[in-house]
Amino acid sequence: MLHTITPPIDVPRAQLDPITTLAEKLSVFALAISRPLRNETVVLCTDHQQRGVGIFIFDSKLKLTQIIDRIIGAAINVDATTSISILSSRGGVGRQSSDSAQFSMAKNRCQDAGLVLTDWLLVAHGDVHVLN
């Protein structure tokens, strides 16, 4: 069992419950993230009322800036998606010096595509970082 994100007790229901807090987002991500941790990116798509409308996973070591166009392409094909939240896991590696610049670039690319990138979270062994 992953000790960084504990199993959720109350998970927002898809297309019904708004997902507005960090705890609610983590509870959704906790259901999708691989254990043990490996390099992957989980994307949560939400509608204009912040209700979950889709979730998908990219199994990749690539940086966010290298896969953001694939993320955007997948997200805009999920009906009603207006915003996305991203969680990246890195097997054994924590924050990197380029993370802030990657988030800024990814946020701009999403904005150009008509999406709002609300959060980018990083899970590494022993910690969760908010990178926005």
User: Stretch 116-120: mean pLDDT, rounded?
Assistant: 97
The pTM of the full predicted model, rounded to 2 decimals, is 0.89
C-alpha to C-alpha distance for 25 and 43, rounded to whole angstroms: 10
**Among 54, 57, 87, CA closest to 70:** 57
Question: 30-58, pLDDT tens digit by residue?
Answer: 889 988 888 999 999 999 999 999 999 99
Question: 71-94, pLDDT tens digit by residue?
Answer: 999 999 998 999 999 999 987 667
